[in-house]
A and B are shown apart, each in its own frame.
Chain A
Amino acid sequence: MGASQSGPVYMFQDLAQKTGFSIEQIKNLHNRFMYLTQDEDTLRRKHLENISNLALNPIRRQIIEAFFDKRNMGEKGKGCLQEIGFEEFVTVLSFFRPPKPRTADEDMKNIKKEKLRFLFNMHDTDNDGIITLDEYRRVVEELLSSYETIGAETAKAISDAAMLEVASVTVGQMGPDEFYEGITFEQFMQILKDVEIETKMNIHFWNLDTRTMQCGK
C-alpha cells in the first residue's frame, strides 16, 4: 500500500469493468487480499491454508486449487500457478457474483455456463476436458471425508451410481462393448440444468468494509 495510492485506483476501475464488481466491493476485496497475504503482493497457497475456518471444510483442497487454476483466469492455458496477484483473486471471486437483477435471458445463460464451467474445472483435475470415474470418485470421497466411519467403498458405490445416472440420462443407449469415458462439459450442463446454478452459486459481496469483521485467522 503506502505510496502507490493512485495506481490502484485505475486498476480498480479496470477490474470493476472487467469483473462486474463495484468500486466499493473491489476496495473491500483488496483490503481482504492484503490481510490474507499479510501485505505481500502475491497470494500463495499457504496464505489460504492459514484461514482457520477453511480448515474444517471437507473440500478445501479443491477450493484452494481453484484459485491457482489457470483455466479460471480466462486464459487458454492449462496448469496451475504458484502464486496469484490481486487481479486473479478478483477474477476467481467474480464467478460468485450474483447476476444483476435486470439481466437478459441470454446473458443469464452465459452466466450459468460460466459458473458451471468453474465447477467442472474443479472436478476435472487432470485438465483433459472430461470428468472420469476416478475423478468423480475423488470428489465424493472428499465430500464424505469429514465422516470418519465412511469407507472408500461407499464413496465408490455412490460415485458409480452417479456416473451411471449421468450416462443413462445423457447417452441413453449403449452397447455392452462401449465404454463411457467420462462426463463432458455438455453432459455436465445437462444433468445440472435443474439446479439453477445462476441463483444458487452466489455469495453476497457487501459494500461495507469487511476489514472490521474478524474472521479467518
Chain B
Amino acid sequence: KKCEKPCSVFGIWPSVQCFISFGFHLIPRLSSIVPESCLLIVVGLLVGGLMKLVGEIPPVLESKIFFLYLLPPIILDAGYFLPIRQFTENLGTILMFAVVGTLWNAFFVGGLLYGVCQLEGHRLVTVDLLSCLLFGSIISAVDPVAVLAVFEEIHINELLHILVFGESLLNDAVTVVLYHLFEEYSSVGSITVMDVFLGIVCFLVVSLGGIVVGAIYGILAAFTSRFTSHTRVIEPLFVFVYSYMAYLSAEVFHLSGIMALIACGAVMRPYVEANISHKSHTTIKYFLKMWSSVSDTLIFIFLGVSTVAGPHEWNWTFVMATLIFCLVARVLGVVGLTFVINKFRIVKLTSKDQFIIAYGGLRGAIAFSLVYLLKTEHFPMRNMFLTAIITVIFFTVFVQGMTIRPLVDLLAVKKKQETKRSINEEIHTQFLDHLLTGIEDICGHYGHHHWKDKLNRFNKKYVKKCLIAGERSKEPQLIAFYHKMEMKQAIELVESGGGAKFPSALPSTVSMQNIQPKKPPQDRALPQLSKAREEEIRKILRTNLQRTRQRLRSYNRHTLVADPYEDGWNEILIKRKKMKELEKKMNNYLTVPAPPPDSPTIARARLASDPQAWGLKSVTESIPTIKVDLASPQSPESVNMVDEFGKKGSQSKASKEEEGGLTMKVPSPTNQRKDKTADEDNDKEPQQRLMRCLSDPGPTAEEEDEDEAFLP
C-alpha cells in the first residue's frame, strides 16, 4: 500500500513518456508536423479516458505538486541558460510586453467578458465584474512552459525567441499580483482607487522583491562555489539547492517565485561557472535538462488527464467569447505596443516579427493550475472557467503550436544561426562593445552601452574578486572564451577518434607556418639536402605520420613553429603558474593533435627547427595550449602510461629506422625535462605522462555535445 503513490509516479508516468518518445521518433513525419506538447496532451487524454473506463478516478494536476515540483525545474533551466546579452539588450521591450501587454490583455478580456455575460443573461448574469477580471488576468498570461515547448522546435531567430520567452517569464509578477488582488477583493465585493494604487505598489514589491531574493541566493551560491575546490562532487548540488530555496522563499512571502528563480540562475551563472569544475558544469547542465524535460512531459500529460477528469461546465457563449477575445486582445496589444516601442528601438520590429510575437502567445498549465486553485464557494462559476481555460489552452497549443512552424517557413522568418562562435567574432564583438561605448561618450549621451560598460567595470573591480576563486577572477572574457574554444576543439578531436577528418568543414592545411613572417633561415644542424631528396623525405615522413601520428606526442597547432628560445627563460617561469592551473582543469582530456598528416608542415617544422626544441617545452611556452593528462597525478594509471609511451616510442623509432634517411627522434621526456626545465619543480610531472593513443578513447572519454556556450 505504501508503495502505491511512488509506484504510480515513478512507474507509470516515465514509462509512458519513454513510450511516447520512442513512438515519436519512429514516425519522423509526425514530429515535424505535431509539436511534442500536443502529442503529450493527446496521450494524457487517452490515459485519462482509459482510467475513466476502468472506473478509477484519474488524478488531477494538483496545483501544489505543479507549483512546487513540476514548475521550478523548467524555470531554473530557462533562467540558468538565459542568454543574458540578448535579454538585457531587449529588456525594455520585454518589460513593455510583459507588464503593459498582460495588463491590457487582462482588462480587455475581463471587461468584455463581463459585458458579454451581462448581455447574455440567464446563467451568466451571476458572474460579476471582479470574477471576470480575475479570469481575464489568469488567462492573459503567456505561459513559459508552452512557449518553450513550441519555440524550441522551430528554431526561430534569437531576437524573437527572447522577446516572447522573456515576456512569458516576466509576466508572472503581473499575474501573481492581479490574481491575489482580484481574489481578495472579490470576497469584499468592490474596488476603490486606493486599492488600485495599492495594487501598483504591490506589483513593484512582488517583482522587485522576487528579483532581489533571487539575486541574494544567487550571490550566496556563487560565494559558496568559490570554496568548493575540495568538494567537487557536490558542486552541482549547491546550484540546485540554492535555486530551489530562492523559489520557495519567494513563494512564502507571496513574491514572484519565477522571477526569483530566473534572477538566481542568471546572477549565479557567470561566477559559478568560473569556479566549478568542468564535470560539475556538465552535471548541472544535464540534470537541468533532464528535470525540465521530465517536468515538461508530466505537465502536458497531466493536462490531458485533467481534461478528462476535471469537472466541466460547458457554456458555448462564454467559451467562444473567451477564445475570441483572447486572440483579439493579443493581436491588438502586440500591434499597439510595437508602435510605441519602435520609437525607442534601434532595430525596429517588423510586421513579420509582430505577427510571430502575437502568434506565439501561448497559454498553458500555469493558467490551468491557477484556476484550479480557486475555491468554488467564492467562485460559483469556477468549473465554467476551468472549461474555458482548457479550451483556450488546447486551442493555442494545438492550433497555434502546430501551425506556427509552416507559418514561420512561409513568412521566411529568420531562423537561428547554428554556426559556432569563432574567435574572430568574439574579438570583434568585444571590440564593438568598446567602440560603441566610446562613440557614445564622444556624442555625450548615456546610452545602453555606457551603462553596460559601467556595470562591467563594477563587476570586474569588485564583484568578481569576491565571488570567483583565485586567478580566474582576473581573467578577461576573451581569454576565457579562447580557453573554452580550445577545450571544445580538443574534445571534438577526441570524439572523432583523432581521425583525419576535422570537425570543421574543410580540412585546411593552413598552419602557423603560413602566417608567421618569414624568419631568416636558422643555422641548420643538418646537412643541406637537395630538393629531390627533401621531397623524398617528405613523402616518407608523410606516410609514416599516418601510421604513427597517433602515437607521437601531439602539438597544438599554435606552438608548432614558435621558436622556443625566442621568448626567454623568464617567460617560462611566469607561465609555469598558469600551466599548473590549466593542468588542474584539464585533467582528463587530450591535447589537440597535430595538423592532418597530409600536410608536410610537421615534417618541415622538424627539418627547419632544432629537433630537440619541439618537445614538452614548446607546449609549456604558450599559455592557452591545452595540455592533457590521461589521469590525475595521483592515479595509478599514470605509471602504465609512461611505460606505454616508452614502448610506443621505441616502436616508432624502430619503424622509422628501416625507412632510412632522417629518423624522427622521439625525445624521451625525462631527458628533455632535465635539460630545459631544471628549475621547474615536480609539478611538471604530469607532462611526462603522455597522451594515450587517440585511437583508443578509453573509459574516461566523455561524450559531450557542447552545444551550449560555457560562458555568456
Output the nearest chain B residue to A43 by Cβ-Cβ distance. Answer: B442
Q: Are A54 and B442 in contact (CB under 8 A)?
A: yes
Q: Are B601 and A154 in contact (CB under 8 A)?
A: no
A32 at the interface (CB under 8 A from B): yes
Q: Which of B160-168, B402-410, B521-529, B567-575 forms contacts with chain A?
A: B567-575
CA distance A53 to B186 in the complex (A): 54
Binary contact readout A32-60 vs B (1 if CB under 8 angstroms, 0 otherwise): 10011000000000001001011011111
Q: Are A201 and B432 in contact (CB under 8 A)?
A: yes
Q: Are B431 and A59 in contact (CB under 8 A)?
A: yes
The one of B440, B450, B482, B516 in contact with A161, judged by C-beta atoms closer than 8 angstroms, is B482
Q: Are B434 and A204 in contact (CB under 8 A)?
A: no
The one of A63, A150, A162 in contact with B439, judged by C-beta atoms closer than 8 angstroms, is A63
Rounded to whole Å, the gap between the CB of A166 and the closest CB of chain B is 6
A129 at the interface (CB under 8 A from B): no
The interface residues of chain A lying within 8 Å CB-to-CB of B428 are: 119, 192, 195
B417 at the interface (CB under 8 A from A): yes
A185 at the interface (CB under 8 A from B): no
CA distance A59 to B434 in the complex (A): 7
CA distance A52 to B443 in the complex (A): 13
Given contacts A166-B424, A171-B510, contact A153 B558 (CB under 8 A): no
Q: Are A157 and B622 in contact (CB under 8 A)?
A: yes
Q: Are A176 and B604 in contact (CB under 8 A)?
A: yes
Q: Are A149 and B439 in contact (CB under 8 A)?
A: no
Output the nearest chain B residue to A201 by Cβ-Cβ distance. Answer: B432
Output the nearest chain A residue to B448 by Cβ-Cβ distance. Answer: A204
Q: Are B601 and A200 in contact (CB under 8 A)?
A: no
Rounded to whole Å, the gap between the CB of B531 and the closest CB of chain A is 12
Given contacts A153-B571, A158-B478, A204-B346, contact A192 B424 (CB under 8 A): yes
CA distance A175 to B598 in the complex (A): 11
Q: Are B348 and A210 in contact (CB under 8 A)?
A: no
The interface residues of chain A lying within 8 Å CB-to-CB of B479 are: 144, 150, 154, 158
Q: Are A178 and B514 in contact (CB under 8 A)?
A: yes
Q: Which of A12-20, A69-77, A93-101 forms contacts with chain B?
A: A93-101
The one of B423, B445, B515, B574 in contact with A210, judged by C-beta atoms closer than 8 angstroms, is B445
A104 at the interface (CB under 8 A from B): no
Q: Are A57 and B427 in contact (CB under 8 A)?
A: no
The one of B447, B506, B575 in contact with A204, judged by C-beta atoms closer than 8 angstroms, is B447
CA distance A7 to B250 in the complex (A): 63
Binary contact readout A13-32 vs B (1 if CB under 8 angstroms, 0 otherwise): 00000000000000001001
B1 at the interface (CB under 8 A from A): no
Number of interface residues of B (CB under 8 A): 70
The interface residues of chain B lying within 8 Å CB-to-CB of A130 are: none
The one of B438, B482, B514 in contact with A57, judged by C-beta atoms closer than 8 angstroms, is B438
Q: Are A202 and B346 in contact (CB under 8 A)?
A: yes
The one of B424, B567, B600, B604 in contact with A153, judged by C-beta atoms closer than 8 angstroms, is B567
Number of interface residues of A (CB under 8 A): 70
Q: Are A172 and B510 in contact (CB under 8 A)?
A: yes
Q: Are A203 and B449 in contact (CB under 8 A)?
A: yes
Given contacts A144-B478, A194-B419, A204-B346, contact A167 B442 (CB under 8 A): no
Given contacts A93-B439, A144-B476, contact A167 B515 (CB under 8 A): yes
A205 at the interface (CB under 8 A from B): yes
The interface residues of chain B lying within 8 Å CB-to-CB of A32 are: 443-444
CA distance A186 to B475 in the complex (A): 33
Output the nearest chain B residue to A213 by Cβ-Cβ distance. Answer: B445
Q: Are B439 and A203 in contact (CB under 8 A)?
A: yes
CA distance A160 to B511 in the complex (A): 10
Rounded to whole Å, the gap between the CB of B279 and the closest CB of chain A is 26
Output the nearest chain A residue to B485 by Cβ-Cβ distance. Answer: A161
The interface residues of chain B lying within 8 Å CB-to-CB of A175 are: 509
The interface residues of chain B lying within 8 Å CB-to-CB of A139 are: 427, 431
Q: Are A29 and B443 in contact (CB under 8 A)?
A: yes
Rounded to whole Å, the gap between the CB of A32 and the closest CB of chain B is 5
Q: Are B424 and A162 in contact (CB under 8 A)?
A: yes
The interface residues of chain A lying within 8 Å CB-to-CB of B476 are: 144, 146-147, 150
CA distance A101 to B347 in the complex (A): 8
B634 at the interface (CB under 8 A from A): no
Output the nearest chain A residue to B446 by Cβ-Cβ distance. Answer: A215
CA distance A149 to B475 in the complex (A): 9
Binary contact readout B598-642 vs A (1 if CB under 8 angstroms, 0 otherwise): 011100100000000000000001111100000000000000000
Q: Are A210 and B346 in contact (CB under 8 A)?
A: no
B430 at the interface (CB under 8 A from A): yes
B436 at the interface (CB under 8 A from A): yes
Output the nearest chain B residue to A115 by Cβ-Cβ distance. Answer: B432
Output the nearest chain A residue to B504 by Cβ-Cβ distance. Answer: A168
Give 4 closest A-B pairs by Cβ, nearest first.
Answer: A168-B508, A63-B438, A53-B441, A167-B510
Selected A-B contacts with CB under 8 Å, 12 pairs: A48-B442, A59-B434, A59-B435, A98-B346, A119-B432, A172-B508, A175-B509, A191-B424, A192-B424, A194-B419, A203-B436, A213-B446
Given contacts A96-B439, A164-B510, A166-B424, 5 further A-B contacts (CB under 8 A): A147-B475, A164-B558, A176-B604, A180-B515, A213-B445
